A and B are shown apart, each in its own frame.
Chain A
Amino acid sequence: MAKQPMLKFVTVARDMPEKRDADQRNKDFHEIYAEYADAKAREQAARCSQCGVPYCQSHCPLHNNIPDWLRLTAEGRLKEAYELSQATNTFPEICGRICPQDRLCEGNCVIELSGHGTVTIGSVEKYITDTAWEEGWVDVPAPREERPESVGIIGAGPGGLAAADVLRRAGVQVTIYDRYDRAGGLLTYGIPGFKLEKDVVMRRIGQLEEGGVTFEMNCDVGGDVSFADLRARHDAALIATGVYKSRDLGGPGSGAAGIVRAIDYLTASNRVSFGDRVPEFESGELNAGGKRVVVIGGGDTAMDCVRTAVRQGATSVKCLYRRDRANMPGSQREVQNAEEEGVEFVWLSAPKGFAGDPVSAVKVQKMRLGAPDATGRQSPEEIEGADYDEPADLVIKALGFEPEALPALWDEPALEVTRWGTVRAEFETGRTAMPGVYAVGDIVRGASLVVWAIRDGRDAASAVLEDMSKTQAVAAE
């Protein structure tokens, strides 16, 4: 009677949800993958080998119980699958869309490693939670009992929201402060809609609000409210600001017009999608339409930029990266998507400088990879004499982000930071040296993945709760 629904990788091949054709999808900002049909999701989930040591879970920052919800999906027990998935992940449908699964769960899937093609974990995860939304299974994070303690969270990005969710469910009063007008952080303004449609983020924020989380938007900590005041208002403060300072590029001509930062570029594009008026877009400063675009960098932000540029109607889009394809930090899947959409990758190329103002070309230095160092990583070296000019009307710098100088910004010298400027916090609890102050996400780790921010947010929230109950116990004695 008990059917063995699993281990079908032996007979069933890997099959992603249908991807819209490149020449259709590059015209809009909607997501490129279709939804799995129920039968397909079950079939693909059933390919899981139900390993004794789930490498997928080991390589998932959230340690999602992936084999378990895959099995439940294959058995048609979607609601249970959802509950299990939601139990370890605040925003599974978001992770399902934007996690670089090929470097995390799917990339380490045992049947992928042994050459059978991975289980499509991300797509199933997305399917499960999207279905849960449709079916109304996703509940508001409202507590059974209210607690008197309150926590102030700085930053409404994934880390802050994840912490807010956990704390709110435990009954803690939560206020989130954010300097933007919309919550969500990079989920809202950083990541383009073709990867993550905005209503997906907004409905989560709506639920948090409904669950009693207070959002103080357009509120700049250090400006509108001092960090010290904020601490005084709450029993605990949680720093989840993210890292917003863009790494810059020097070289001759780097100050020219037409050379923009990725964050500005992507934010503008996302605001336009929300229907906001964005003068820099209208002026063309942050609009790639009709331009030759060169994006510099090899990370996921660069991928977002090139694909956004395609959708804005750029005449050509090139991506410059100083290492080769195998050594780039961005997701291979995204590279492939970008290539399909018409982006040209120029590997082993570094910008030496720029011509013109407004910019007309990037001076490109060709590189080669040197001998591997002790860790096996190969550093790029310049090839003498191999340089040329790459014509460009818009240059987008996507070289990564660094933390802002929070102690100075907030006039809080006691806040300890590392030599990279990140906040010094305890691993797995987010506790800083300041009592009652916690920090999570990119501001601790440096620029990293959304999924890590969620993990940090959840962990820190647990630590906050633990510390609160200790305080309570002491108070009671």
Chain B
Amino acid sequence: MTKFDAEWARAEETRRKWLAENGMYSEAEEHSSCGVGLVVSIDGTPSRKVVEAGIEALKAVWHRGAVDADGKTGDGAGIHVQIPVPFFYDQIRRTGHEPRQDQLVAVGQVFLPRTQFGAQEACRTIVETEVLRMGHTIYGWRHVPVDVTCLGEKANATRPEIEQILISNAKDIDEETFERELYVIRRRIEKAVIASGIAGFYIASLSCRSIIYKGMMLAEQVAVFYPDLMDERFKSAFAIYHQRYSTNTFPQWWLAQPFRMLAHNGEINTLKGNINWMKSHEIRMASASFGDHADDIKPIIPGGSSDSAALDAVFEVLVRAGRSAPMAKTMLVPESWSKQAKELPQAWRDMYSYCNSVMEPWDGPAALAMTDGRWVCAGLDRNGLRPMRYVVTGDGLVIAGSEAGMVPIDEATVREKGALGPGQMLAVDMKKGLLFHDREIKDKLAAALPFGEWVGRINELDEKLAVVTEKPMFTGAELRRRQIAAGYTIEELEQILAPMAEDGKEAIASMGDDTPSAVLSKTYRPLSHFFRQNFSQVTNPPIDSLREYRVMSLKTRFGNLKNVLDEDSSQTEILVLDSPFVGNAQWDELLPQFNAELGVIDCTFAPGKGALQAGLERIRAEAEDAVRSGAGHLVLTDQGVSEERIGMPMILATSAVHGHLTRKGLRTFTSLNVRSAECIDPHYFAVLIGAGATVVNAYLAEDSIADRIGRGLIDGSLTEAVARYRNAIDQGLLKIMSKMGISVISSYRGGLNFEAVGLSRAMCAEYFPGLISRISGIGVSGIQTKLEQVHARGFASGQRDILPIGGFYKARKTGESHAWGAQNMHLLQTACNTASHELWKRYSAAMQANPPIHLRDLLAIKPIGEPVPIGEVESVTAIRKRFVTPGMSLGALSPEAHKTLNVAMNRIGAKSDSGEGGEDPAHFTPEPNGDNPSAKIKQVASGRFGVTAEYLNHCEELEIKVAQGAKPGEGGQLPGMKVTDLIARLRHSTKGVTLISPPPHHDIYSIEDLAQLIYDLKQINPACKVTVKLVAQSGVGTIAAGVAKAKADVILISGHNGGTGASPATSIKYAGLPWEMGLTEAHQVLSMNQLRERITLRTDGGLRTGRDIVMAAMMGAEEYGIGTAALIAMGCIMVRQCQSNTCPVGVCTQDESLRAKFTGNADKVVNLITFYAQEVREVLAGIGARSLDEVIGRADLLTQVSRGAAHLDDLDLNPMLITVDGTATLALDRNRERNEVPDTLDAEIVRDAARFLNDGEKMQLHYAVQNTHRTVGTRVSSHIVRNFGMRNALQPNHLTVKLTGSAGQSLGAFAAPGLKLEVSGDANDYVGKGLSGGTIVVRPSMMSPLEASENTIIGNTVLYGATDGYLFAAGRAGERFGVRNSGAKVVIEGCGSNGCEYMTGGVAVILGSIGANFGAGMTGGMAYLHDPEGTSAELMNLETLVICPVAEGHWMGQLEELIERHAAETGSLKAQTLLQHWDREKHNFVQVVPKEMLDKLQYPVAVERAAVPAE
């Protein structure tokens, strides 16, 4: 301990706190994820074997965790086992007591502050006092032996004193009661310690049943650190274990898992909403179970809890109140039930319906291992986003966990191998010695209570509301006045509202947002504009709300939620709607349905000093009074607007009331029904609901639609138009929720899952509790001023009744400012065309003369010293190398534009990015004139189009695009009309067929998955660096820290201004943050964690001048992306019609005749980057710096300046400008070596295959394999591609690698032609990821007694993005099999949900049952399903598909041939049987064909003509 000691820990903690208060960092944004699992003996017999298996398993998941910068401090690991009573009896004897064997013994595992002896003693006293107070006796304390040599320095510095308190059940109460009392004791202790202000105290467990050993060591060191675990007396019937991967590198021992009841892999996306609702629930959760102790257990969720800890806390209360672990899981993390493809049994539906009426789901990726002492179970979230494989062994153990093969088992006696599907559970009742599979346990739970009876009282309102006839509230001049007063514009009505009412869809737009943040704007901006939507990146996946809609729900329940812990029908006297959208007439119909009194609150105010503030206080008081006097439903409305009265922003009103009622514990007694004039678009709806609204009536929007109908502009009735509008809003809400991975609106409601830019911190604290607002700005009085102005426009006399034209989406002279104006673009283009630096200077000056648009426009640069001669500043050439043209795909860009960028950037030694969509292999050889048209950076995006082994080897850098600035958290779509021959060839798809990029990478659902993908990429390309592209948001710093620990080399922080080829208009506008905020946060947090020097930081999103570049450098960026400006240099003039394929200048179109209009060339782009570089030099010289390196990270050189407007001076940008202590001496080096990853089995294979690789000799190699051998076959494939090319002449089995055992993740990723991998055993997730022509065979061990087709042999997300090759697996695959396959041919014997999603090519033959949502978004390729029962159709998502019997001839031949080959390769019994009875069985196959392919197939399929949709 030379460098770190206890002082360090304290100093570090202080430093973090300071940064959280003053900088951009927030502790609340820390994320973690991990590997998790359990081992349980079905008959409940404790044994040494179970404990040892748990320890073994921890050693086999090390790669799912991360290591700190010190190389030894793990992110945390632990194990939860039963109390080995004999072991502890011996310990008791050593304390000098004789254990009272007739009484239960309880053990508390306690962390005490290690170095403060006074505090330690105080803690012990508190513990003892509370135990005695409850009437139990104490044997004594035991100092837990630990071996600190295995700890890293940081872990050791923060290590607590670990002791056990041994307690006897002196009251001789039963086990259940004892446990409950121990729980109350623990909660009392926790509160008492908090009250005494002692830090560093934590009770890992306090139970008479089980005990938890955990800490900040690496997973494999848990048993080393705690020698107890190695003691022969240490036996248990179960072990739950966990390895943590955290973005947080400050060692916090207590955050290691398992927690008291569960261990969790994943992330709870709805945490904020859940915690808010728990504040309301807990007040009434004073169940009989706790009686007088009710107050002791509150708050149920301790402050500072991680998502997993919070979930554990609630889970524990439910269990302590008498729910079993499986029931608690069902209540908290239910499966999706309302829209299942195959309707669930009625009893289940009743049970879930009951659960839905008492508890909001805790939603997000979750693999859970849980126990309540009697039950041990494993379960998954509704989306099945984390893997959970299990085996049942011959000797009666169930082993479940994130990976298969974590515990060696006897293959010869194994009874079952499986994988849990979405929402599924596996439960062991140790008391009865029974194993329950998913169906069995749910049947049991559903039958246990009369759910059906209870839910009979749920009043489903939709039918009643469906029959009403919609009518407007306001028309004519009154409507017009109200529209103007509500800030409506023609643009909003025409471009946003009208498309929703006409098409039922949101309008699509393109290019980036170049307007000011709402707080910087001079014009009136609705309050919703200050809210930025949260979105998922890296630590959890967004959901595809279009293709995976079945897991999502907008079911809205009203009213009185009663006590969560009650189990009776009183909870279900509730009203339910299918959507929170309510039309005007529906509203009138809804009110009489309410089953309780109604309170109506007028949300308007008369102007005057402080009137809005007073008004907010008034509505809060009125709401409280109403609820206290029995109102079960509240209406908040601004319809009372008049000449004298101004409407409050309903977002503010709703949140004020919701927050107030929550604080008073009254929120669950009422529903909040909101009528808002201002509300038009899905974003506004989302903010209202996030602020707590139960339902929303956008009456003025509806009136505006009625007005349009009155003018004959919309066909049909208002009722129909409103139905379409509702549909668009519903879709929009689902999109907004899915963006951050939330599936159910009840968990989204009240969660304020947004962040604010420029709302005053004081206002947020008062009216938007929990909302992050890093940059403080406008407050209540400022809002009031703006409201008065806009109100006057509508109601003051003498005003013309014409709506403002708008200008927010597209520039208009009288509307919002846009950075890119005609004049600026013209200057830039002329400068680039004529290489005139003079014109560039005029351009730059014009840009800086714009009104403030970006946060940096409020900053000025301070000099370091006296100006230096410009000749002394580093050269243009040196500076230009730091520039990048960010990922813009061929598909969005025309081939001409795409290539021009590559050529230009290569000429100056800078880098271009291929974007998603592959690159023409012709680019891999130089042009005749010497130009290199190949992009130096190749992008790996969620669609994986054209991502082949060859593509991945032709670059210096691989960029994983996690999110895109213009639409973070959303996928994309390339419409068929843009898919030309060239694009189809590069993307391995068919001309004219739509291509879909999914919202998430299906191999990145959490941080350890990203680490795995980085590992894969570093295997396939032995030299390239890996970049991770993130979008600025609050918390991006902690994510960046996690990414750095995942061994990325470059992190790109993209600003929300980034462009897009097509995206819903509101996504462009309301998601993501300015890069200034994301970049400074990333720089600060990486610096704080000593990770900054490992990483090169890059930024993009609206860098328009050399001054912008210098500012970005000062905020921490070393490299700079220039997207839009580069397009403009090539001729783009911001027509913003990219989505329509009609770009008049040929930049962003595939239309031949328009492409002919392209006038760009490489010189113009070179000029552009040169101008930037030259201006950078001028700025540097001016401030006395000689190189960019001198100013990188020097945010202290920036200072906020006044732009002469009061509303701007209120903004506080200082959090962006602070410097983290001790980072003045950062050694940043863009040219350092890449962060290396450890070798895998391939190191050996490559050595052994020398003769194959060097001389092309045919070889066969054989190895044993285990799950820690990841990405096998990939490095070899890199050598194959580099030595022989990807279109080589090798035999398919030129190099055969035989493997025995459980292969790790990414088996055969990007495997190239010539390589054949044969596994005898099983394999984990991502088998054949990006398969590029190789062959993979997986079959069970020869001695396995299992029926292959009934058991899972390969994991989730198999063949993701495969482009070519074969896979034969004799067994079932997990979830998301064959997603985005575009060329591989595969035979398997069954698969989980979402099989063949987004597939665009290749052939999938599935010889067993499929999961739900098969073929969603599948637009190409072919699938054959063996379906003798004829049950597959209902499991398919037929939106893009047709199904038919297999056509004789070509298709039947293809099918039979593949099955024959499958039989030959794997020896599959199932295949052999099918072939034996082929004449009969061939009729049991279903052929699945994408609709768009029907007219493009060379051979006819057996689809009836009528089934082909008339196009």
B residues near A84, Cβ cutoff 8 Å? 490, 805
Q: Do A52 and B1134 contact each other (CB < 8 Å), given the known contacts A63-B813, A63-B814, A114-B1145?
A: yes
CA distance A145 to B797 in the complex (A): 9
| CA–CA, A9 and B818, complex, Å | 26
What is the CA–CA distance of A52 and B1128 in the complex, to the nearest angstrom?
13
Chain B residues contacting A67 (CB-CB under 8 Å) are 810
Q: Does B1144 contact A (CB under 8 A)?
A: yes
- Complex contacts, B498 vs chain A, CB 8 Å: 2
One of B811, B823, B1133, B1137 near A113 (C-beta < 8 A) = B1133
Residue from the list B812, B813, B818, B1140 in contact with A7, Cβ < 8 A: B1140
Let me know if B798 is at the binding interface, CB within 8 A: yes
Does the CB pair B1140–A4 fall under 8 Å?
yes
A2 (CB) vs chain B CBs: closest residue: B502
- Residue of B490, B800, B821, B1157 near A58 (CB, 8 A) is B821
The interface residues of chain A lying within 8 Å CB-to-CB of B1135 are 49-53, 110
The reply on B461 being an interface residue by CB < 8 A is no
Q: Given contacts A9-B1144, A116-B1144, A145-B797, is CB(A54)–CB(B811) below 8 Å?
A: yes
Instruction: Write the nearest CB–CB distance from A468 to chain B, whole angstroms.
Output: 11
Interface hits, B1136-1167 → A, CB 8 Å:
1136-1137, 1140, 1142, 1144-1146, 1151, 1153-1154, 1157
Contact A65 B1137 (CB under 8 A): no
A171 with B798: in contact, given A50-B810, A57-B812, A65-B805 (CB under 8 Å)?
yes
Name 25 interchain pairs, CB-CB below 8 A, sorted by A.
Answer: A1-B503, A2-B503, A4-B1140, A7-B1142, A9-B1144, A49-B1142, A50-B1135, A51-B1133, A53-B821, A53-B1135, A54-B812, A55-B1133, A57-B812, A63-B813, A63-B814, A67-B810, A68-B805, A75-B713, A83-B802, A84-B805, A110-B1135, A110-B1144, A114-B1146, A144-B797, A171-B798
A 17-73 contacts with B by CB, 8 A: 49-55, 57-59, 63, 65, 67-68, 71
Q: A2, B499: Cβ atoms under 8 Å?
A: yes
Q: Is the beta-carbon distance between A111 and B1144 smaller than 8 angstroms?
A: yes
Q: How far is the CA of A9 from the CA of B823 in the complex (A)?
A: 24
Interface residues of B in 694-735 (CB under 8 A from A): 711, 713-715
**CA–CA, A77 to B822, complex, Å?**
28
Chain A CB within 8 A of B820 CB: yes
B825 on the A face (CB < 8 A): yes
Q: Is A115 an interface residue (CB 8 A)?
A: yes
Interface membership of B511, Cβ < 8 A: yes
Question: How long is the Cα–Cα vector from A145 to B800 in the complex, in angstroms?
Answer: 12
Instruction: Mark contacts of B475-518 with chain A using CB atoms, 8 A cut-off: 1 yes-contact digit, 0 otherwise.
Output: 00000000000000010001000110011000000010000000
Which residues of the partner chain B approach A10 to less than 8 Å between Cβ atoms?
1142, 1151, 1153-1154
Asked if A87 CB lies within 8 Å of chain B CBs, one says: yes
| Chain B residue at minimum C-beta to C-beta distance from A109 | B1144
User: Knowing A49-B1135, A53-B821 touch, does A77 contact B713 (C-beta < 8 A)?
Assistant: yes
User: Given the complex of chains A and B, what is the CA–CA distance between A427 and B1133 in angstroms?
Assistant: 29
The interface residues of chain A lying within 8 Å CB-to-CB of B1134 are 51-53
Q: Can you name the residue of chain B whose Cβ is closest to the Cβ of A67? A: B810
Residues of chain B within 8 A of A99, CB atoms compared? none
For the complex, is A287 an interface residue (Cβ under 8 Å from B)? no
A53 touches B715 (CB 8 A): no
A260 at the interface (CB under 8 A from B): no
Residues 762-816 of B at the A interface (beta carbon under 8 Å): 797-798, 800, 802, 805, 810-814
CA distance A57 to B823 in the complex (A): 12
Q: Is A170 interfacial (CB 8 A cutoff)?
A: yes
Question: How far in angstroms is the closest Cβ of chain A from B707?
Answer: 12
Asked if B1136 and A51 sit within 8 Å, CB to CB, the answer is yes
Tally A residues with Cβ within 8 Å of B: 39
Known: A52-B511, A110-B1135, A169-B800. 10 other contacts (CB 8 A): A1-B503, A2-B502, A2-B503, A10-B1154, A50-B1137, A58-B822, A65-B812, A111-B1144, A114-B1133, A114-B1157
Q: Compute how far the CA of A57 lies from the CA of B502 in the bound complex, rounded to whole angstroms.
A: 28
On A, residues with C-beta under 8 Å from B are 1-2, 4, 7, 9-10, 49-55, 57-59, 63, 65, 67-68, 71, 75, 77, 80, 83-84, 87, 108, 110-111, 113-116, 144-145, 169-171
Which residues on the B side are within 8 Å of A63 (C-beta)? Answer: 813-814
Q: Are B1137 and A53 in contact (CB under 8 A)?
A: no
CB-nearest residue of chain A relative to B814? A63
Contact A53 B822, CB 8 Å, known A10-B1142, A111-B1144: yes
Q: Flag if B798 contacts A170 (CB, 8 Å).
A: yes
Minimum CB–CB distance for A25 against chain B, Å: 33
Give the docked Cα–Cα distance between A148 and B314 (Å). Answer: 72
Using a Cβ–Cβ cut-off of 8 Å, how many residues does chain B contribute to the interface with A? 42
Q: Nearest Cβ distance between residue B159 and chain A, in whole angstroms?
A: 59
Tell me the residues in window 1265-1304 of chain B with beta carbons closer than 8 Å to chain A beta carbons.
none
User: In whole angstroms, what is the CA distance A75 to B1133 when docked?
Assistant: 25
Chain B nearest CB: distance from A86 CB in Å? 10
Question: A52 to chain B: which residues have CB within 8 Å?
Answer: 511, 810-811, 1134-1137
Contact A53 B502 (CB under 8 A): no
**A2 to chain B: which residues have CB within 8 Å?**
498-499, 502-503
Interface centre among B499, B503, B797, B1144 (most CB of A within 10 A): B1144
Cα A67 to Cα B490 with chains together (Å):
12
- Rounded to whole Å, the gap between the CB of A350 and the closest CB of chain B is 32
Give the complex CA separation of A50 and B511 in angstroms.
14
Of residues 277 to 327 in B, which have CB atoms within 8 Å of A's CB atoms?
Answer: none
CB <8 Å contact, B1133 and A53:
yes
Minimum Cβ distance to chain A for residue B1289 (Å): 46
Residues of B near A68 (CB, < 8 A) are 490, 494, 805
Known: A7-B1137, A63-B814, A115-B1157. A53 touches B798 (CB 8 A): no
Task: Determine the chain A residues whose CB is within 8 A of the CB of B1133 once the complex forms.
Answer: 51, 53, 55, 110, 113-114
CA–CA, A65 and B804, complex, Å: 11
Q: Hey, which chain B residues are within 8 Å of A57, CB to CB?
A: 811-813
Complex Cα gap A359–B1435 (Å): 97
Q: CA separation between A148 and B1434, bound complex, in Å?
A: 77
A343 to chain B, nearest CB (A): 34
Minimum Cβ distance to chain A for residue B484 (Å): 13
Give bound CA distance, A87 to B801, whole Å: 11
A83 to B805, CA, bound (A): 12
Least Cβ–Cβ distance between A464 and chain B, in angstroms: 14
Instruction: Considering the complex, give the chain B residue whose CB is closest to the CB of A170.
Output: B798
Query: CA of A56 to CA of B810 in the docked complex: distance in angstroms?
Result: 13
- Of chain B, the residue at the smallest CB distance from A77 is B713
Chain A residues lying within 8 Å of B798, measured Cβ to Cβ, are: 144-145, 170-171
Find the B residue at minimum CB distance from A116.
Answer: B1144
B1145/A54 in contact, CB under 8 A: no
Distance between B988 CB and nearest chain A CB, rounded to angstroms: 29
CB pair A54–B1144 under 8 Å, yes or no, is no
Complex Cα spacing A77 to B493, Å? 15
Interchain nearest-CB distance for B26 vs A (Å)? 35
Mark interface residues in B1230-1253 (1 if CB within 8 Å of A CB, else 0). Answer: 000000000000000000000000
Q: How far apart are the CA atoms of A80 and B1145 in the complex, in Å?
A: 31
Q: Which of the residues A53, A77, A87, A144 comes within 8 Å of B820, measured between beta carbons? A: A53
Residue of A nearest to B825 (CB): A53
* Bound Cα distance from A65 to B489, whole angstroms: 13
What's the least CB distance linking A73 to chain B, in Å?
14
A95 to chain B, nearest CB (A): 16
The smallest C-beta distance from B515 to any residue of chain A, in angstroms, reads 11
Which residues of B lie under 8 Å from residue A59 when comparing CB positions?
822
**Given the complex, which residues of B lie within 8 Å of A87, measured CB to CB?**
800, 802
Cα(A113)–Cα(B1131), bound, Å: 10
Please name the residue on chain B nearest to A56 by beta carbon: B822
How far is B1133's CA from A57's CA once the two chains are assembled, in angstroms? 14
Q: Which residue of A lies closest to B818 (CB)?
A: A53
Q: For residue A58, which residues in chain B have a CB less than 8 angstroms away from its CB? A: 813, 821-823
A110 CB contacts on chain B under 8 angstroms: 1133, 1135, 1144-1145
A77 proximity list for chain B (CB < 8 A): 711, 713
Which of B711, B714, B1135, B1154 gathers the greatest number of chain A CB atoms within 10 Å? B1135
A381 and B823 alpha carbons, distance in the complex (Å): 33
